[in-house]
Amino acid sequence: MLCQKIFLIVAILMMFFDVHIPICNGNTDKIVSGPIIDDNDWRDKKKITSSSGLETGEESWVLLKTELKEPVFAFDPTDDETITCMTEYKGKLYIGSCTAPGLTDTGSIFTYDPESHTWKKVFHLNEQGVIRMEVYNDMLYVPGYDANDGGWDLGNIYIYDGTAWIERRTVPRAVHTYGIAVYKGKIYLSADIFDQPSAGISLTSGKVPIYGRVVSSSDNGLTWKEEYRGPTQGQDVGLLMVFKNQLVLNARGDLVIFDGEKWKFLNPERANFLYVLDYAIDRDFLLLGTPFGLCYYDGKRSWRSLIFDWGYIRGMCKLGDYWIFNHYTLRDGFIYHGPTGTHNYPALKYGSNRPPFWADVTIIPHEVLMQDAVCGKDLVDVDRRQLWAGSIKMFQIRDLPTSMCKCLGRVYIGTHPEGRVLVLPVVKQGVLESAVYPAEPASYRISWESATPPGTSVKFQIRTATNRESLNDVEFIGPDGTSQSFFEKSGEIFKVAHKGFIQYRVVLTTDDPVKTPYLRRVTISKVE
């Protein structure tokens, strides 16, 4: 009875303090079965004793650490002048490009594989450009900007499921489509849509009213139902996004919120102050890039923050504890690029009259951005010299930044007028030392899963000792028993001569700041 009571008390304490007892056969140092090391989850810090020059990716892999330095040229995928949009989908960077939305007869989509440093064209849109790509429910959606075939009777959307592209030329009387989102099981599309014309009246006659609208489809784009129409005639809708179980529309210079039942203007008394060029969603807020700076929306209210008098924030993303923005500011006033039509992108050919501008990539710590968001004041009100010295890093680039995306832990930037892709560089080398594991005299195989683009490498060393205390006094060695050699081929075998403990060291290297190796899994198992 006493033993049962003690066991019950211990069990309750284990549940309360989340205690886990390793499975063993009376000896905690004895390997029972299976691999002795299986580091599939790099976020488990118990499996790492030290690390430098490395960071953990979102999918539990390790890569070289990004340097917060000026972006470097990565690749040039297209002859188009502008990279208009980018997004990550199934581990690849998807890139939309065209010469200028509304002034071209083509739109192209490319993919870039960071693991092999290769890119290719995968789809051609029969549109006057491409301006946006969105991923929802493991599907890639592309709104058709302006269809080239068949006039304005029908507009397009494109859907990609990872294997095949589907074109839906089904959106009634849609001239330009801007944003697409999946909300509560339906596809929502923001577009400029004509009224149904009277008999004998053409859509091109100039006599048919056009409104900014949102339409929905519950059958994957086959049929559409009107959900919202702007209060006045005109092309006044922009991007769509989902945030905190709400559908958020940028329209009429405001945010229009849909909760599944009603559409409501957020700031009707301050309409015409907000035109969204790009957005990013953090856990607690929606960050909006505009021609006049940043705007926050926390699900209840929105307010604008002009950071360093920025203009034209074209892209943004979060990397660890930092926010990264690409933007440009004209030296002499503003050229307005609103949410609709050709002027939505800095892709117009200015020729000899092209105004001077600053094109910058700016990096701001999340903590600094949150201080601004919480108090609701502009960063422009903060002592710029102190803020610059302590927090903000800014790098000028040659081209106009037009889009930004994070893919497999790297930050990529699209540009105009050369349609190139830049990337934040990585360090040359990173080293990780594993946790310490028990071992016994036997032969072992070290295996790993990794991706090594040309010019990168992943290599390992091992060290063993009879006790934990003396392990730090032993050098890591490779297959020839010296510290100068490395295990560089997965599946190699080594021997442990004594019972004790084992630890591995992995080194990731690159000779090109554009490329990093990726380490996904390490397994050390006894050879039977």
CATH number assigned to the domain comprising residue 235: 2.130.10.10
**pTM assigned to the model:** 0.86
Q: Specify the pLDDT at position 417.
A: 82
Domains of the chain: total: 2
- Domain span at residue 392? 72-423
Please tell me whether residues 226 and 159 are part of one structural domain: yes
Please tell me whether residues 265 and 279 are part of one structural domain: yes
CATH number assigned to the domain comprising residue 498: 2.60.120.260
Measure the CA–CA gap between 458 and 432, rounded to whole angstroms: 11
Those residues whose C-beta lies under 8 Å from the C-beta of residue 388, and which sit 6 or more positions away, are: none
* DSSP code at position 235: -
Confidence of residue 351 (pLDDT cuts 50, 70, 90): very low
> Residue 20 falls within a domain, yes or no?
no
Half-sphere exposure of 409 (CA within 13 A, CB side): 23
Dihedral in degrees, nearest 10, Cα atoms 28, 30, 36, 37: 30
Measure the CA–CA gap between 99 and 419, rounded to whole angstroms: 9
Residue 188 has pLDDT above 90, yes or no: yes
Those residues whose C-beta lies under 8 Å from the C-beta of residue 458, and which sit 6 or more positions away, are: 448, 450, 452, 488, 506, 507, 508, 517, 519
Measure the CA–CA gap between 368 and 364, rounded to whole angstroms: 7
Measure the CA–CA gap between 271 and 199, rounded to whole angstroms: 36
Please tell me whether residues 399 and 358 are part of one structural domain: yes
Residue 296 has pLDDT above 90, yes or no: no
Average pLDDT value for the chain: 83
* DSSP code at position 489: S
Half-sphere exposure of 389 (CA within 13 A, CB side): 4
Average pLDDT for 13-24: 31
Q: Specify the pLDDT at position 450.
A: 95
Final residue of a domain: which of 423, 456, 478?
A: 423
Amino acid 513 reads: P
Please tell me whether residues 149 and 40 are part of one structural domain: no
Please tell me whether residues 416 and 515 are part of one structural domain: no
Please tell me whether residues 378 and 473 are part of one structural domain: no
Least confident range from 333-342, 352-361, 455-464: namely: 333-342
Measure the CA–CA gap between 272 and 276, rounded to whole angstroms: 11
> Residue 23 falls within a domain, yes or no?
no
Please tell me whether residues 260 and 203 are part of one structural domain: yes
8 Å CB contact between 171 and 230:
no
Residues 67-111 pLDDT 10s: 999 999 999 999 988 899 999 999 999 999 988 776 677 889 999
Residue 528 has pLDDT above 80, yes or no: no
Final residue of a domain: which of 394, 423, 452?
A: 423
> Residue 4 falls within a domain, yes or no?
no
Please tell me whether residues 120 and 55 are part of one structural domain: no
Those residues whose C-beta lies under 8 Å from the C-beta of residue 495, and which sit 6 or more positions away, are: 442, 443, 444
Please tell me whether residues 247 and 289 are part of one structural domain: yes
Q: Specify the pLDDT at position 272.
A: 63
Per DSSP, the chain holds a count of helices (H) and strands (E) of 4, 39
Please tell me whether residues 329 and 371 are part of one structural domain: yes
Cα–Cα separations (whole angstroms), residue 412 to 276, 307, 313, 316, 508: 20, 22, 15, 10, 21
Measure the CA–CA gap between 279 and 316, rounded to whole angstroms: 7
Confidence of residue 503 (pLDDT cuts 50, 70, 90): very high
Final residue of a domain: which of 423, 444, 472?
A: 423
Helix (H, G, I), strand (E, B) or coil at 55: strand
> Residue 135 falls within a domain, yes or no?
yes
Run of H or E residues at 375: helix 366-375
Helix (H, G, I), strand (E, B) or coil at 344: helix
> Residue 293 falls within a domain, yes or no?
yes
> Residue 10 falls within a domain, yes or no?
no
Q: Specify the pLDDT at position 24.
A: 29
Please tell me whether residues 463 and 401 are part of one structural domain: no
Beta strand 107-113 with 37-38 is: unpaired
Residue whose C-alpha is closest to residue 50's, from 521, 364, 503, 514: 503
> Residue 189 falls within a domain, yes or no?
yes
Please tell me whether residues 53 and 117 are part of one structural domain: no
Residue 381 has pLDDT above 80, yes or no: no
Confidence of residue 31 (pLDDT cuts 50, 70, 90): very low
Residues pairing with 526 in the sheet: 444
Least confident range from 183-197, 274-288, 450-464: namely: 274-288
> Residue 52 falls within a domain, yes or no?
yes
Residues 202-223 pLDDT 10s: 888 888 999 999 999 999 999 9
